[in-house]
Structure 1
Amino acid sequence: MSRVTIPDPSLPMLTEPAGGIPPVITAERELAEAAEAVANGVGPVALDAERASGYRYGQRAYLVQLRREGSGGWLIDPMALPDLEPLDTAIGSAEWVLHAATQDLACLAEVGLRPRQLFDTELAARLLGLPRVGLAAVVEHYLGLTLAKEHSAVDWSTRPLPEPWLRYAALDVEVLGEVRNLMGVDLAQQGKSQWAREEFEALLTWEPTVKMDPWRRTSGLHKIRQPRILAAVRELWYARDDLAKERDTSPGRIIPDTALVDIALADPKSAADLPKGHRAIQRQSRTWLAALDRARGLDDADLPPASLKSDGPPPARSWADRNPNAAARLAATREALAAFGEEHTIPVENVISPDPLRRVIWTPPDTLEPAAFDAALAALGARPWQRGIVAPMLAQAFADHPG
Structure 2
Amino acid sequence: MTDAVPTPLVEPRDGIPDVVVEEHELLRAAEALAGGSGPVAVDAERASGYRYGQAAYLVQLRRRGAGTWLIDPVSCPDLTPVSAAIDGAEWVLHAATQDLPCLAEVGMRPSRLFDTELGARLAGLPRVGLGAVVEEQLGLSLAKEHSAVDWSTRPLPEAWLRYAALDVEVLVDLRDAIAELLERQGKLDWAEQEFAAIANAAPPVPRVDPWRRTSGSHRLRTRRQLAMLRELWTARDELARQRDVSPGRVLPDAALVAAVQASPRTMEELVAVPGFTGPAARRHGARWLEALTRGRKTPDADLPLQSLPNDAPPPARSWADRDADAAARLAYAKTELARMSEALCVPVENLMTPDTVRRVLWDPPTDVDGRLTELRARPWQIELVGPVLQAALQETDADRRAREAAARASEPAPPAEQG
Aligned to 1:223: 219
Q: Which has the larger radius of gyration?
A: 2
1:330 and 1:288 map into 2 onto residues whose CA distance is: 46
How far 1:394 sits from its partner (Å)? 1.5
Partner of 1:269: 265
After superposition, what is the alpha-carbon deviation per residue over 1:56-95, rounded to whole angstroms, capped at 9, x for unaligned?
0000000000100011001000000000111111101000
- Comparing 175-184 with 296-305, which one deviates more in the overlay? 296-305
Aligned pairs for 1:51-200 (under 5 A) are 51-200=46-195
Aligned pair count?
A: 391
Alignment correspondent of 1:295: 295
- Aligned-partner Cα distance in 1 for 2:282–2:87: 53
Deviation at 1:134, TM superposition (A): 0.4
- Residue 283 of structure 1 is matched in structure 2 by 283
2:256 paired residue number: 260
1:211 aligned to 2:207?
Answer: yes
Equivalent position SS for 1:104: helix
Contact 2:17 2:70 in 1 (8 A): yes
Task: List per-residue Cα deviations over 1:244-268 (Å, max 9, x = no partner).
Answer: 1111110111111222223222323
8 A Cα contact 1:262 1:275, kept in partner = no
Match of 2:241 in 1: 245
Cα distance change on mapping 1:9 and 1:395 into 2, 3 Å: closer
| Distance (Å, rounded) in 1 between the aligned partners of 2:310 and 2:25 | 51
Give, in whole Å, the separation in 1 of the partners of 2:5 and 2:177: 22
Amino acid at match of 2:346: I
- The answer (yes or no) to whether the contact 2:51–2:245 under 8 Å persists in 1 is yes
2:352 corresponding residue in structure 1: 352
Name structure 2 gaps, 5 residues minimum: 399-419
SS of equivalent to 1:130: coil
Q: Which residue of 1 aligns with 2:402?
A: none
Moved over 4 A (4+): none
C-alpha RMSD of the superposition? 1.7
Q: Assess if the C-alpha contact under 8 Å between 1:263 and 1:275 holds in 2.
A: no
Cα distance in 1, alignment partners of residues 261 and 339 from structure 2: 49
**Secondary structure of 1:66's match?**
strand
- Supply the distance in 2 between the matched residues of 1:239 and 1:392 (Cα, whole angstroms): 50
Q: Which blocks of at least 5 consecutive residues in structure 1 are unaligned?
A: 1-7
Name the residue aligned to 2:405.
Answer: none
Name which of structure 1's ranges 127-136 and 288-297 shifts more when overlaid on structure 2: 288-297
The answer as to whether partners of 2:111 and 2:200 remain within 8 angstroms in 1 is no
Task: Note if contact 2:5-2:139 (Cα within 8 Å) is conserved in structure 1.
Answer: no
* Deviations, residues 270-326 of structure 1 (Å, cap 9, x unaligned): 323323323223210121122122112211121123333442112212222322221
Report the Cα offset of residue 9 of structure 1: 10
Q: Structure 1 residue 400: deviation in Å?
A: 4.6
SS at match of 1:188: helix
Q: Give the deviation of 1:209 after TM superposition.
A: 5.3
In structure 1, distance between residues paired with 2:44 and 2:238 = 26
Change (3 A) 1:320 1:220: closer
Equivalent in the alignment of 2:342: 342
SS at structure 2 position matched to 1:159: coil
C-alpha contact 2:324 2:397 (8 A) present in aligned 1: no
* TM-fit CA distance, 1:215: 1.1
Cα–Cα, structure 1 residues 9 and 149, in superposed 2: closer, same or farther, change >3 Å? farther
The answer to whether the 8 Å contact 1:118/1:200 transfers is: yes
Tell me what 1:5 maps to.
none
Percent of pairs with identical residues: 60
Structure 1 Cα separation of the partners of residues 39 and 73 of structure 2: 22
Q: Cα distance, 1:243 vs. partner?
A: 0.5
**AA of the residue aligned to 2:301:** A
Provide the rounded CA distance (Å) in 2 between the counterparts of 1:108 and 1:265.
40
Contact 1:259 / 1:278 at 8 angstroms: preserved in 2? no
Q: TM-score, normalised by structure 2?
A: 0.90
Greater CA drift, 196-205 or 52-61: 196-205
Equivalent-residue separation in structure 1 for 2:279 and 2:306 (angstroms): 30
Equivalent position amino acid for 1:267 in 2? S
**Alignment partner, residue 316 of structure 2:** 316
Alignment of 1:234 with 2:201, yes or no, is: no
Moved more, 89-98 or 211-220: 211-220
Aligned-partner Cα distance in 2 for 1:198–1:113: 21
Aligned counterpart, 1:43: 38
> Which residue of 11, 18, 23 maps to 1:16?
11
Partners of 2:178 and 2:7 lie apart in 1 by 21
Q: Which moved more, 1:183-192 or 1:166-175?
A: 183-192
